[in-house]
Structures are given as structure tokens and as C-alpha cells.
Chain A
Amino acid sequence: MPDAEAARPNPDPRAATMALLARATRKELALPLSAHWPNLAFATIRAPEIGLVMLRGRMGGDGAPFNLGEATVTRAVVELETGERGYGQFLGRDPTRAEQAAILEALAQREADREMVERAVLAPIRQRLQEEAQRKRAETAATRVDFFTLVRAEG
């Protein structure tokens, strides 16, 4: 599993936040939202919608692009009372989670909330992803082949 941030360092903090929110479970968004931002007011800019993104591959892995096949994506855009606009989008179908991701993305832009979003939402997701990736890498590493050469009899 690629570590969303470590694999390709993303210079843009918003993109980094969105990458983590995209990987969140329902609980990882819903619980901190209700605990730290109950009754938060926001306007819906783009209601959650489910659609498709065509995934592209490259000929030979690094050549010219081709269309491989589509994937389902859910996206939403919200705006906080203070004007921050948050974007939520990820693979899969979950309108509730898209709206929650958008709200948290907006909150992460707000100076007063940034640290709490990091502590209560992003850090736990980051840690879970790192643990999962580490576990998979360790399981995979155990299947690496160690070759040894048998002594060949001359004759």
C-alpha cells in the first residue's frame, strides 16, 4: 500500500490533506466531526454526487497513455460560514463521507481549526495507513525468494 505522503512527497498541503481524507473510513470522519465541531454551519456548493473517472494507464508502463477502465468516485464541495471552500473526493460510492471529507478539508484551511483537524482526523488516518502499509510490506517480504545453488556433480 503506498504511503499517501511518503511515496510521492506532495508539496501542496491541501492536496496532502485531501489524499488522507480520501483514504478515511466513515468513522474516522464522522466521530471527530461530531465530537469537535457539533452543529457546524456550512453551505452546500456541490451536493455529493457519484460518478466515474476513467483511469488511464501507459503503454509499457511509461509510454503514451491509454484508457484502462473506469472507477466510481464520489465528490462534494461545501463552504463554511467564514468562507473556506472544502473539496471532498475519493474512489467509491459514499455521499455522506464525501460531504464530511469536504467539511474537514474546509476546516483544515481555517487557522483556528487546522491543528485540531490534524490531531483528531489526519494523524490517526496517517498512522493507520502507515501501519497497514508496514504490515503488508512485512508479509510480502517474507515471500522473497532466496536462491541458492546446489553443487553440481561433474562427470
Chain B
Amino acid sequence: MYVAVKGGERAIANAHRLLEHERRGDRKVPEIGTDQIEQQLSLAVDRVMSEGSLYDRGLASLAIKQARGDLIEAIFLIRAYRTTLPRFGFSVPLDTGAMAIRRRISSTYKDLPGGQVLGPTFDYTHRLLDFALAAEGEPAAPVTAPVDPEERFPRVTDLIAQDDLIERNPPTDPAKPVGDLTREPLAFPAERDLRLQNLARGDEGFLLALGYSTQRGYGRNHPFVGEIRMGEVEVEFEIPELGLTVALGEVTLTECQMVNQFKGSLTEPAKFTRGYGLSFGHCERRAMSMALVDRALRADELSEERTSPAQDEEFVLSHSDNIQATGFVEHLKLPHYVDFQAELALLRQMRRELTSRNTHPEAAE
């Protein structure tokens, strides 16, 4: 039985007003601007854009402010907002090979064309709290160095591919539509395009834990970071009525090319395999985790026995979305008064029956 109840409107309105007050914090402290969030909490912005699956730094900054820094709540706001907008179409696939590199490293080759370029990284910091940041003061301006105009950054995987030592990426099949999770619900088995879309917007913590689990032996795939690159890539869009492909501006992306354990057969020479990670913004941990999980989910395709959670696409893809997850977990907070009354009545009845059996054992026969 469902009993409709009303009430709580005033409590809800007042609670939201109190929430706004708490969000603002001590009013003697200057209010944070969305421009400050965008500029100074840029990696939080990157995460909200990635998992919100919407590239818009201003909106992500606003969402972070509104959510009081609760990033999953901010991602929720972004996902809700995107449903209000029409879709104009699809970009030309982004060319990460033409990226304006701001960071590029490889753990497979020390010397490679373009070199190892660290860019703005937390790597090699000592992870000691910098108390100077608690005081006012500007950091030093970055050092600059001469740029070779001929400088190029070929993909590390292309260098390996020159000797045919690594599998080729699957070619484009123009007849095959690109799967889209935002239009069709996920069905299993899912193809790699849908898996990558799911992982690209998946919860970073979940991807990290699954990627880590493969390293610890739950679906081991012996990864090397062939390359991580971060920088700006031009977005191109076709305007059909003009027959023109035009640039819309640029987005920051992080790409991880994982080079994994080789695969061969009696007839095929062994080759390295690949896992791929791509993320909005500067999200290296996320791109690496995505690449590990992408590779793990290719178990069937590579004739590997599926033994571990990271290789189980139904498990991974069904639980990667933190908005779905938080919705279902948090819905437990909503009134379940009637459900619970039913359970309570059942429990009382069971106990009564037991008591009556114990008091009148012959009656229970």
C-alpha cells in the first residue's frame, strides 16, 4: 500500500536557505568567484568537466561553487544542465597527434623525438605542505627556453608500430554508427566505442581502484606507459550547408597510450597490445586508469580468460557512473516509511508465530 503524504515544504525551503548560508561560510571572508575557481582550482574543474561529460570551464566552476566543492554534486548539476540543451551534431574526431603539447612523457623510451617534456606536474614534488601558500605572495614567473620551430612530437606508439611490434588500432568503419550512451541505454556485450565513452565519464576513484586491481594481479596485463600527453587540440565541426569543416576553438585533453603484454599465436608473430585513455582537461590519473581498464575489458577480444572484476564489462560499465551510483545509494535517505512498516509487521508476525509455537508446541504440529 502506498500512502501519499504531504508536508515538509517549509522545512525544505528553510533547509535550502540554511544550505546557501553554509555555502557562503563566514561572511567576513571574501566570497570566492567562479573565475577564481576556474583559474585556481583548475584540476577540480577538469574532473567535473570529464565526469559531467561536458566541456565548459565556466559551467563547471559555477557547479563547484554551488556544490560547495562536493565534486560529485557538481557533476550532477552539469549532467542535469546538459539535458536542457539541443545537440548540434558531432565533431570531427579530435586529432591528438596534432596536439599543442604542454606535457609529454614516455616510460618506454628515454630518448625520443620531441623529448620528455614535464610541463606543469606534481611528479617529483616532495608532497610537503607548502605553508607559504597560506600567506599572500605571488609565485615566480615560469622559466622559458628557446623553441625549435621544427619540433614535433610523434606518438610513441607510432614509433613502436614502425617495426610492426604493436597491434594496429581498429580502423574506422564508415558503415558503422558510433555508439552513444546518451541516446541508447547500455546493452551487453558492449563494443569498445561504448566502453570508452562509459569509462571517459566514469568515476575517477572507481577507475583508479579497478586499474590498481589489474596491477595487483586481478586481471594482470603488464602495462607500460608508452606515452602520456597533455595539451590543446582543435575542435572541428562540419557545417553541412556550407560544405565546410570549421574550427570551433580548442580543448585541453590528456591522453594515455598504455603498451601492454604481447599477444601472438602459432601463425601470428607476437605483438604488444594497447589500452587507451583520453580525458578532458589535465587528468592524468584518470587517463591512465581508463587505459588500464580499457585494456582489461578487451579480454574476450584477446582470448584472455575473464577472471577478475576489471575484466567483467557488465560489472565495470554498470557501476562506473557516479551519478547513477549516488542516485541509488542516496535514494535510501528518502522516506521508506511504508516499506519499513511492512517489514516491521512481517518481523512482528514471525516473532509472534515463534512465541506461540514455543508456548503451545502441540498447536504447531
Residues A54 and B180 in contact, CB atoms below 8 Å apart? yes
Q: Are A138 and B147 in contact (CB under 8 A)?
A: yes
- Enumerate chain B residues within 8 angstroms of A63, measured Cβ to Cβ: 168-172
| A121 neighbours in B (Cβ, 8 Å) | none
Q: How large is the interface on B (under 10, 10 to 19, 20 to 34, 35 or more residues)?
A: 35 or more
Q: Quick check: is B286 within 8 A (CB to CB) of the other chain?
A: no
Main secondary structure of the interface of A (DSSP, over half): mixed
Q: Is the CB of A53 within 8 A of B180?
A: no
- Say whether A7 contacts B234, CB under 8 Å: yes
Are B200 and A68 in contact, with the CB atoms below 8 A? yes
Q: A12, B244: Cβ atoms under 8 Å?
A: yes
Q: Contact check: which of B100, B151, B171 meets A64 at CB < 8 Å?
A: B171
- Establish whether residues A23 and B249, one from each chain, have CB atoms under 8 Å apart when the complex forms: yes
B111 neighbours in A (Cβ, 8 Å): 147
Task: Indicate if B66 sits at the interface (CB-CB under 8 A).
Answer: no
**Binary interface encoding of chain A residues 14-44 relative to chain B, with 1 for a CB under 8 A from any of its CBs, else 0:** 1100110011000000000000000000000
Q: Residue B47 at the A interface, CB < 8 A?
A: no
Nearest B-chain residue to A68, judged by Cβ:
B200
A12 to B178, CA, bound (A): 28
Interface segment among B1-9, B90-98, B212-220, B313-321: the answer is B90-98
Binary interface profile of B, 81-121, with partner A (CB < 8 Å = 1, else 0)?
01001111111111011111111000000110001111100
- 0 or 1 for each of A63-74: is its CB under 8 Å from B? (1 = yes): 111111111110
Main SS of the interface on chain B?
mixed
Complex Cα–Cα for A75 and B50 (A): 23
Interface size class of A (residues with CB under 8 A): 35 or more
- Assembled-state Cα–Cα distance A4/B242 (Å): 20
Q: How far is the CB of B252 from chain A (nearest CB, A)?
A: 10
CA A7 to CA B94, docked complex, whole Å: 14
Contact B100–A69 (Cβ < 8 Å): no
Residue contact B89 to A54, C-beta cutoff 8 Å = yes
Q: Is the CB of B170 within 8 A of A1?
A: no
Asked whether, in the complex, the Cβ of B87 is within 8 Å of the Cβ of A53, the reply is yes
Contact partners of A23 in chain B: CB under 8 A: 249-250
The answer to whether A145 and B98 have CB atoms under 8 Å apart is: no
A127 close to chain B: CB less than 8 A: no
Considering the complex, give the chain B residue whose CB is closest to the CB of A23: B249
Min CB distance A134 to B, Å, is 7
> Can you list, as one digit per residue, whether each of B175-192 has a CB less than 8 Å from chain A (1) or not (0)?
010111110000000001
Judge whether B206 is part of the interface by a CB distance below 8 angstroms: no
User: Which residues on B sit within 8 Å (CB–CB) of A155?
Assistant: none
- Which of B14-22, B31-39, B263-271, B274-282 binds A? B274-282
B178 touches A65 (CB 8 A): yes
Residue of A nearest to B146 (CB): A141
Question: A61-B255, A70-B54, A87-B239 are known contacts. Are A4 and B181 too (CB-CB below 8 A)?
Answer: no
Pick the contact of B88: A51, A93, A140 (CB < 8 A).
Answer: A51
CA distance A5 to B178 in the complex (A): 29
Most chain B beta-carbon contacts within 10 A, residue among A60, A62, A135, A139? A60
- Is A58 located at the chain interface by the 8 A CB criterion? yes
Is B246 a contact of A19 with CB atoms below 8 Å?
Answer: yes
The answer to whether B96 and A59 have CB atoms under 8 Å apart is no
Please tell me which one of the listed residues A61, A70, A142 contacts residue B157 in the complex, with CB atoms under 8 A apart: A61
4 new A-B contacts, CB < 8 A, other than A68-B278, A69-B280, A145-B117, are: A52-B87, A61-B257, A63-B172, A145-B116
Q: Which residues of A contact B (CB under 8 A)?
A: 1-2, 4, 7-8, 10, 12, 14-15, 18-19, 22-23, 49-73, 75, 87, 89-93, 133-145, 147
